[in-house]
Structure formats: structure tokens, C-alpha cells
Chain A
Amino acid sequence: MSDINEVIKKKNGYTLHIVKTEKFKTNSIVFKMKAPLDQDTVTLRGLLPHVMQSSTKSFPSTTKLRSHLDELYGANFFVDLGKKGEYHIVSMSVEIANEKFLADSEPLLQKGIEFLTEVLFHPHATDEFDHATVEKEKRNQKIRIQSVYDDKMRYANSRLVEEMCKGERFALHVNGEKEEVDAITPKALYDYYERVMREDQFDLYVIGDVDADEVEKLCDGLMDLTDRDPERVDQGIQKEIKKENVIKEQQDVKQGKLNIGYRTHTQYGDEDYFALQVFNGIFGGFSHSKLFINVREKASLAYYAASRLESHKGLLMVMSGIESKNYDQAVGIIDEQLQAMKSGDFTSDELEQTKAVMRNQMLETIDTPRGLVEVLYQNAFAGIDIGLNDWLSKIDAATKDEVVKAAQKVQLDTIYFLTGTEG
């Protein structure tokens, strides 16, 4: 297995990452913006990319902007907000056809990069954003924030994080606070935009069958940023747990949602991070894992029962949908599985099987442009360098002993249960 061929160039104010690959029929351009999650800016940051994507100087209406993208063979352009550890990440992505598969050869890659830089550097604003755009997007931001409530799986997960991480940055919502939206003015948003362009950590990814020198030259001509020293915050993974939290909330739902949060005291970049990943795989990451087998297949209590890691924050989250009357039984079975992991009650078959599936999953992830960017960004985000081959070999090298040790560090923090009205 050859490693990913990533060319990294440190530029003024951003880092350019280029991956040349012939796998895809399209070229992908992804711009990542990183800043700490912060009470004072979380709502502004939830709004900003949506205002930026709806119009620019050259395309002062959404209709004009989207028509332009249609002309570029339906270039796909979207913004996305996420949390990674204690940071608030904005991604702006353009995916555009590679002209070599088209009858007429327009320079589409160039036009895609030009478009993205238009969005970044030439917003529809003078010294404040366009009023009508801001008002529309404020309305949509409120709906976006509110919509979490309507998807009960997302809601339960978000409530768990809220309760578990009270007082930590990670408890903030990715789209911001509904009560703070109305007060945002076009001027305040523009001031925040200028601050972002001055202070954020920026990474630009270009993935596809591209010429690295040509991409670099293009970017040198279009990207105009000043150098900066991005703010860093403590990830706070060592929080001490005094007492386990149990939160039960009743709503008119047919299925109860059981979400359990644990602290792992391990994060991306730590020596035992790989063992923790393997632990999660055996515990609840896959359909051969202990949670799936014992909660679903053996006890027939649920359709889904799984776990996942928040690698940069050191959290482990378990989620399952159950009948409310089965709460005690489900919590009991989940706890038994964790205790089994801690006492090394898993076979070497389970260990090897999990490693094989994890290896498979990683190799599949980098078969999509988006997955590839996410894998590479783990490193840029954390400021460390773990290559694909390192990752694969370290997963492979994790011993049973190390997995047990990682499991023993896992500590229950909060149980959140959204219970139906019937039980």
C-alpha cells in the first residue's frame, strides 16, 4: 500500500495541500477554517459561511451565483460547519468536473478556484454585509438551530453533549444560539468576517488529476492573506469526574433514545490513541461489535446500538434506540460490555477481525474526495504528522494488553435518556 501523495506548501496565511490522483472524474477544492469554539463568536460563525455562500461582489444574488455554477458543469458548492475538539471548523467545498471527460474543454479547475476565492475575498459587502442577505440567512440560521429538536437521534446526542460538557467549549452548538441571532447586525458580521480572514488557521486542499505546480501558481495569483499565529486553546480532555450524571427527559416519542457519554482520557496524537480506536471497534464500532451483538442480536432490544469516538476531545459516545421500559436492561448490558473490555474479556479473533475491518474502512474512506480531505485534515488540525501507513501499521500493532489499558482509562460521565410517554 503506497502512502497518500500529499504535497504540502506553507503559504502566507494558509497551507496549501495538493493530492494528485487519477481515481476521480472530478476535482475537489476544499477550504478549511479553524478557530476556537467560543461563546462570543459561536453564533456569528454559524451565520457567516451561509451569508458568504449566498452572494458575492460579482454574483450579487443567489440566482446569479448558482447560474454561474450551473454553467461550470454544475459545480457543487456547499458550506459545512463542524466541531473538532474545542474548535469550530468551517469548510467550503467546490467539486467540479474534470474537463478531460467532457466534449468541450473549458479550464474548469481554474474557474473553480477562481470561484472559491471570489467567495472568500470578495463578499457581497462594502464595510458591512448586504442587509437583505443577512436578514434572510438569520431566519434560516434560527430554523437550522431549531431543527435539531425535530430529529430525535440528533437531539438526544446534542443534549448529552450539553449536559456532559457543561462549562466546556465543546458544549457550544455548531450553529450557534437561537437567542443571539436577532441581535446580529450586518456590520458586526462583517467585522467578524475581517477577524476570521486575519486570524483563523486556513488549509486549502486541491484533490484530483491535477498538476501540482499549476495549482500552486494559480493559488499564488488568487489567494491574498497575511501571515498569522492562530489562537490555540486547551482541549481539556483531563476533566475530573466527581459523580456520574443521569439525566432523564420525557417527550412525546415512541422510541426512547439512550445516549451515554464517557471520557477516554486519550486523544488523537497520543501514544495509546490507536489502541483506543481498536477498543472502540471491538466495543461498538461495527456490526460484529459487542454492543450490536449483545443489545441487538442477543437481547433483541434495539435496531441500532453503536459507539463512536470524538478523537480530538477524548470522548466516547454510545447510542441506541430502545423501548423506554427496557432502560435498565439496556444500560446493564452496555455496562457489562464495557466491563468485559476492561477485564480483557475478548478473543484474539475479535481483535484481529476488528483490525481488518478498520483497515478496510480507512482505505475505503480515502476512495472518496471528501473522505480523503477529512483524513488529511486530522493532521493539519492537530499539527502532527501521522501518514496513512503509520496509521495502518499502528492499528495493526496494537496488542490486546494495550487495548485493555485504553479501555481501563474509559470512565462513565453522563447517561442521557430521552424517554417516551408510554413507559
Chain B
Amino acid sequence: MKKITFDQLQENLYYEKMANGLDVYILPKEGFNKTYATFTTKYGSIDNHFAPLGEEELVKVPDGIAHFLEHKLFEKEDGDVFQQFSKQGASANAFTSFTRTAYLFSSTTNVEGNLETLIDFVQDPYFTEKTVEKEKGIIGQEITMYDDNPDWRLYFGVIENMYKNHPVKIDIAGTIESITPITKDMLYQCYGTFYHPSNMLLFVVGSVDPEAIMNQVRDNQGKKDYEKMPEIKREFEQEPDEVAEKKKVLKMNVQSPKCLVGLKASNPHQQGKEMLKQELSINVFLDILFGKSSSHYSDLYNDGLIDETFSYDYTQENGFGFLTAGGDTEKPDELSERIQGLLLKAVNEPIVTEENLARTKKKKIGAFLRAINSPEFIANQFTRYAFNEMDLFDVVPTLESLTVDDITNAAAGLIDEKRMTVCQVVPNS
């Protein structure tokens, strides 16, 4: 077991790689009642084209299957695992993103028991035709719920506009049609390929004794047999540089129009420190450009183009990345023009200065301290970072090292008119 110390933050992190390849991290949090643990596989909605375990031939699986599998893993021969957790005083949950599926619990007692349940249920799949069929009704309602949600439709609408081929454009839960043909055998095939310990990470944060927890995980994993696993072969079609569609307008049963501008990154295959620097640079850039203390923000606000729902974000993973900015607006066309104009202009104008960079760094460092109050944030983000060969605890030093040139160069490399698109939701009457 390795101990990594972060002096400034007064945190210690413990790490060990298990013999079967599983990465285990433990972060003790003194004074907290709660322990939060996530068990995550590097398998998300985008992984729909791959070579199944032990086979050479690539297969394509139905949209939404990773998320479907997440639902089904909770059901066992003798009932569902939620029951088991709540008997042990814990609450359990799971989520599927583009690139990950995470299972988690949080509890204030019986951490060992809950941790055992978490690891064992994820590592013991049980699917039958009957329970797979039943789940289609529940997930169907989940999909329908999101269909009625204008913000979700807007977000996926703008991603669909950006991508022509990449599966990031597919809704994580799929559609009612796409989940219909899912069978238990397909679930076993995906499970077998992506749920090997060497493709997974366990993170435990809370009032725990790291030594005891690590022993427990070692014992647990020692009892299970895993063949050595070759690297998973995943396939992604080539994605053109320009967006698939420049504009889309969705009519929905809403009163306030919504507008989101998207900017697609050009084939991002950075990992590790390079990726961290890129991601932080763009986020700092966005804060300087659109943050509440910027003149652009107050102009847009004073001109009646944005309200408090205005937000912006930059997301990058291995293979795709995009910036989004927008919110509710009375004037969706005017807002999308203004946002796109400001982005394009920012490349040629020196909007990043030593002064606003220093201020923005302070702001980001404060926000990071606030975030690490949260065990959920630590576990979820640490895992995402680790899957991209980055370290969450490098955020503050990397932020501190950023220069005006770093920010300007990152922005210049990202912003390009042909990679911009807009999606709007407008009232249907």
C-alpha cells in the first residue's frame, strides 16, 4: 500500500493495485460521519463497438445497453441489492456516463459490510430473460421522463449537432426502440468484456482505517478467479472536423425559449498532464470570457439576453470534447449570435490579462477547496481523472502554473467557426 500526502490540503491518499489489476484508492476523512465508495468500470454509453472477450471479430451492440446493464446488475436471484444495502443502513445508487459506469453506496455505519456488498454484487451478474423484459418498462419510463425535459433535450440536441459519427451523440439511455431487442446474452457479453477488475477502480472516502479497508479488499479479490485480460479493443469511426449540423430548433411544450451554443474540439486524444492543462486552460478562459465578473456577462444580462440559468462548460475525454454555453433566453437567435461572436472575437483580442488570470486562478482554487468538502466529488472526479491518466490532486498546482499564453493558445486551438453549432428549444405554439 502506497501513501501519498498532500500537505497544503492536509489530505492523505492510499493506493494499491490488486493482483488482478484492480486499482484501489482510499482517502480517510476525519470528522465525517459518512463513508462513500464508488466501484467504477471504464465502460460507458460510447462503448458500443468492440471485440467481445476472447473474440477477434468486432460487434455492435444496441444503444443504451451500458445503462441497461447498470440497472440489471442490482437484481439478484434472491431479490434486489437495494434491500441488502438498506438493511445495512446504507443508500446505494449507480450512474452511467459517456465513458463510465459507477456503482456506489454511502453509509455512516457498517462500512465493511456495505463495501463487501458493493464489490460482490458488481462482480456477480445475474440476468434472466424475465427480469430483462420487466426492466424495459422501467427504463422506458426513464427515457420518457427525459423526453419531456427541455434542458436534457437541448443538451443532447447540441451534441447531436456536433457529431456525425461518434457515439457520444447517442442518448445514454438509448431509445425505447433501441432497448427493445436487448437480451440477457447481450448483457453477459458486455459484462464479460468490460467488468474485468483491470478495467475498474474502487474509491473509498470517509472516516475509515485505510489499512483495514485495503486488507478487506485484498481478501475479497483473492477469493475470486480472474483470467488475465488482454486490452479491450474498442472501435470509433473517424469523426470529421466540422459539425454535423449548424443549427437545430426543437419545438416543445415550454414557455421560455432555450439556446445552447456548442463548440466541438478537434479530435482530442490528449491524456494525462497535457489533457489536464488543456481542460483547465479552457475552463479558465470561459470564466474570463463569460463569468459573472466579466463585462460580457453583464452586457448579455443588461441586454436581456440571459438570466441566472446561463451557464458554460467544457468537457473532454479521450476521443471527444466540447464546449457548451447558453441558457434560457427570450431571444434565442440573438443570444446564439452574440455567444458565437464573442468566442470568435476572443481569439484575436487580448482578453486574457495577467490581472484577470490571477483573479480567475484565485476563484478556481477557492472553488476546488469547496468541492473537496464533498466525498462524492472526490470519488467521482478522482475516478474520471484516473481513467484519463490524470490526478485530481494536480488541479491546484496545474492551475497555479498556467500562463496567459497557455490560455490564449488553448483557446485559439479550440475555437473555429466550422466547429460551432447551436440548438434551440422554442414554444410549440
Contacts and interface: CB of A to CB of B under 8 A. Distances in A.
A70 B86 contact: no
A23 B149 CA distance: 37
A65 to B, nearest CB: 8
Contact of A302 (B34, B141, B256, B298): B141
B372 to A, nearest CB: 6
Interface string B146-166: 011110000000000000000
A339 B263 CA distance: 54
A140 B8 CA distance: 41
Interface string A62-101: 1100110111111110000000000000000001111001
B330 to A, nearest CB: 8
Nearest to B372: A25
A363 B106 CA distance: 11
A353 B8 CA distance: 41
A98 B148 CA distance: 42
B389 to A, nearest CB: 26
B292 interface: yes
A360 B138 contact: no
Contacts of B109: 356, 359-360
What size tier do the contact residues of chain B reach?
A: 35 or more
A252 B31 contact: no
A75 B29 CA distance: 23
Contacts of B364: 74
A22 interface: yes
A255 B370 contact: no
Interface residues of A, number: 70
A22 B370 contact: no
B370 A97 contact: yes
A405 interface: no
A140 to B, nearest CB: 5
B62 interface: no
Interface in A25-68: 25-26, 61-63, 66-67
Nearest to A297: B80
Nearest to B428: A252
Given A67-B293, A252-B428, A75 B366 contact: yes
Contact of A25 (B291, B363, B373): B373
Given A151-B149, A323-B141, A360-B109, A369 B90 contact: no
Interface of A: 21-26, 61-63, 66-67, 69-76, 95-98, 101-103, 132, 136, 139-140, 143-144, 146-147, 149-152, 251-255, 286-288, 296-297, 300-304, 321-323, 349, 353-354, 356-357, 359-361, 363-364, 366-369
User: What are the nearest 10 A-B pairs in CB distance?
Assistant: A73-B366, A74-B363, A300-B137, A74-B366, A356-B89, A66-B293, A363-B33, A303-B142, A363-B108, A66-B292
11 contacts: A23-B30, A61-B298, A72-B362, A143-B256, A146-B255, A288-B83, A301-B137, A303-B141, A359-B108, A360-B108, A368-B374
